[in-house]
């Protein structure tokens, strides 16, 4: 017995697969593809990280450091090689209120607590609950995020000198032209060569044209300077002044009550977005990912990021799609993306700041086209109306609020629809008993649970039935307390009429549920495998009538 327990424990704590190449062959061609894919992702990460830092109300380097550290740690330890993580807009919109009220040090403290909560979720294997997300919710998630990514790119069409005004005239025409050219290059490159990832080719060619001809369009440098040093350890807890002129967060219960609500929300959003992206990348690459391993990696990355002056992060569906479409399949691509990004910050900022935003917008527009589930329009005409409604609902809620709320709403609506459909399925066939003369048998079909109890009670004709009634559950299941309550109420009605009600063909789980509640009256030795049809009388007055 002890050996069995130890074996089970060893299975639970077995080391995760941290192989760099996973099951891909280690070849020069594979490594080149991974490195070029990582470079492409790093270039696309720069404006995203800066933009999300602005959304959260923090210095651009706070977003860039988060993209580097979260991206590196999740690439090394995460559950889905090929998935890219970094600072995201879904988290930034929650952070902005905290930063505005208490300052950036409280944000760093919140990110540390957020990471701890995510590690706990991973250790407890809570990531498996992502399996409860129905496919219509996944479609809505993908479509909603594609729209969010598209809308986020529109801010790049604003005048860098006046963020309230949009580009106009020749600048707008040139911007649109370069975006279109980038998209055309990305579309056409795979038809010519597979050596260079199409997004990298688009960025490189358009950037070269802009620099060579001195075309006046917004560049990365117009957003903010990305120059900085290596991230250094910084404790956000204490007294006095911290980074960027903000006061440190005191290590007190008062601070905990301030940051805890934000940490819980951020941890939930981060894990939901990461696990859904993990599933999506797994579907594209045809490989499974470790949900619990990903939760732990996300948590560890956020704890580290909080102590190194970063804003935290989670999986990024846009950058993950860029990586996968560019050929990235192993941990090398994610690690390379993070290291390239650090190199941009430390030594290559003057060069990167010259890249036109139009090229990066073109890349993200192609991501939008590739991410949006265009077949969902066709799917919605073929699936049940409720599933089509859930797809549209999750898409709209994702765009209007955030991903976590959208997924929760979608799951709740899907669960209620499922419960309603099952509630309508319960019915009964009646016949005279062959084994008990004069007895009437009700053969129940469909699950008996909270949604079907009213329908269950209505199946019976208490006044017109004979003195002996048998309820046969061979094709039914007793699921919850509401079902127990219904059985007791029904037995009480027959008891009041001086009639006997017995239950037959209870499955093992139904038997255990009813026995635990104390409803079954077993007068003889019971057969646990139900080789014989055993009839059970029902005790009343256990749960009461309310």
Give per-residue pLDDT as tens, 42-58.
Answer: 998 888 888 888 888 88
Lowest mean pLDDT among 168-172, 208-212, 257-261, 448-452: 168-172
Query: What is the helix (H) or strand (E) element at residue 235, kind and residue range?
Result: none
pLDDT in tens, 457-497: 999 999 999 999 999 888 888 888 888 888 888 888 998 99
pLDDT band, residue 17 (cuts 50/70/90): low
The pLDDT of residue 445: 92
The pLDDT of residue 532: 46
Name the DSSP letter for residue 500: E
The pLDDT of residue 176: 93
pLDDT in tens, 340-375: 999 999 998 898 999 998 998 998 899 889 888 888
Range 209-226 average pLDDT: 88
Lowest mean pLDDT among 172-176, 282-286, 336-340: 282-286
The pLDDT of residue 262: 93
What is the distance between the alpha carbons of residues 87 and 311, in angstroms, rounded to a whole number? 7
pLDDT > 90? residue 11: no
pLDDT > 60? residue 12: no
pLDDT in tens, 406-422: 888 998 999 888 888 88
The pLDDT of residue 545: 52
The pLDDT of residue 4: 55
What is 411-445 written as a DSSP string?
Answer: HHHHHHHHHHHHHTT-EEEEEE-SSSTT-EEEEEE
Torsion over CA of 137, 131, 291 and 128, rounded to 10 degrees?
A: 140
What is the distance between the alpha carbons of residues 395 and 268, in angstroms, rounded to a whole number? 19
How many other CB atoms are there within 10 angstroms of residue 525's CB atom? 7
- Range from 12-21, 108-117, 271-280 that averages highest in pLDDT: 108-117
Range 100-111 average pLDDT: 93
The pLDDT of residue 522: 53
What is the percent of the chain where pLDDT is above 90? 36
Q: What is the mean pLDDT of the chain?
A: 85
The pLDDT of residue 22: 61
């Amino acid at each position: 017995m002890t050996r069995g327990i130890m074996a089970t424990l060893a299975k639970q704590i077995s080391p995760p697969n941290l192989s760099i190449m996973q099951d891909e062959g280690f070849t020069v061609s594979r490594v080149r593809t991974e490195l070029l894919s990582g470079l492409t992702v790093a270039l696309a990460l720069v404006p995203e990280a800066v933009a999300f830092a602005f959304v959260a109300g923090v210095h651009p380097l706070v977003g860039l450091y988060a993209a580097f550290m979260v991206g590196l740690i999740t690439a090394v330890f995460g559950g889905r090689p090929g998935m890219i993580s970094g600072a995201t807009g879904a988290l930034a919109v929650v952070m902005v209120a905290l930063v505005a009220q208490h300052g950036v040090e409280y944000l760093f403290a919140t990110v540390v607590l957020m990471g701890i909560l995510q590690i706990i979720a991973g250790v407890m294997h809570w990531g498996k609950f992502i399996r409860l997300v129905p496919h219509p919710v996944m479609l809505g998630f993908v479509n909603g995020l594609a729209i969010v990514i598209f809308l986020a790119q529109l801010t790049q069409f604003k005048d860098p000198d006046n963020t309230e005004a949009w580009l106009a005239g020749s600048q707008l025409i040139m911007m649109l032209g370069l975006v279109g050219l980038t998209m055309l290059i990305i579309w056409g490159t795979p038809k010519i060569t597979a050596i260079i990832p199409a997004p990298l080719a688009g960025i490189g060619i358009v950037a070269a044209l802009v620099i060579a001809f001195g075309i006046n369009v917004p560049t990365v440098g117009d957003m903010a300077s990305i120059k900085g040093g290596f991230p250094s350890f910084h404790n956000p807890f204490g007294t006095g002044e911290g980074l960027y002129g903000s006061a440190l967060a005191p290590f007190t219960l008062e601070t905990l009550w301030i940051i805890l609500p934000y940490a819980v929300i951020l941890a939930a959003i981060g894990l939901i977005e990461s696990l859904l992206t993990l599933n999506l990348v797994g579907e594209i690459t045809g490989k499974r990912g470790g949900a619990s391993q990903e939760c732990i990696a996300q948590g560890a990355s956020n704890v580290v990021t909080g102590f190194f002056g970063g804003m935290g992060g989670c999986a990024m569906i846009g950058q993950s799609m860029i990586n996968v479409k560019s050929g990235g399949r192993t941990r090398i691509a994610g690690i390379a993306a993070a290291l390239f990004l650090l190199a941009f910050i430390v030594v290559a900022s003057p060069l990167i700041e010259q890249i036109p935003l139009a090229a990066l917008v073109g890349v993200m527009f192609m991501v939008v086209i590739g991410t949006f589930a265009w077949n969902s329009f066709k799917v919605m005409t073929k699936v049940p109306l409720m599933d089509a409604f859930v797809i549209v609902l999750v898409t709209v809620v994702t765009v209007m609020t955030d991903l976590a709320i959208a997924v929760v709403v979608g799951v709740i609506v899907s669960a209620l629809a499922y419960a309603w459909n099952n509630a309508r399925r319960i019915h009964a066939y009646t016949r005279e008993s062959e084994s008990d003369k004069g007895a009437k048998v009700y053969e129940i079909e469909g699950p008996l649970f909270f949604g079907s109890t009213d329908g269950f009670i209505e199946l019976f004709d208490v006044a017109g039935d004979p003195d002996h009634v048998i309820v046969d559950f061979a094709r039914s299941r007793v699921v919850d307390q509401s079902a127990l309550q219904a059985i007791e109420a029904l037995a009480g009605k027959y008891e009041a009429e001086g009639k006997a009600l017995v239950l037959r063909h209870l499955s093992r789980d139904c038997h255990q549920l009813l026995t635990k509640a104390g409803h079954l009256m077993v007068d003889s030795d019971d057969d646990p495998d139900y080789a014989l049809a055993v009839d059970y009388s029902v005790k009343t007055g256990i749960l009461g009538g309310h």
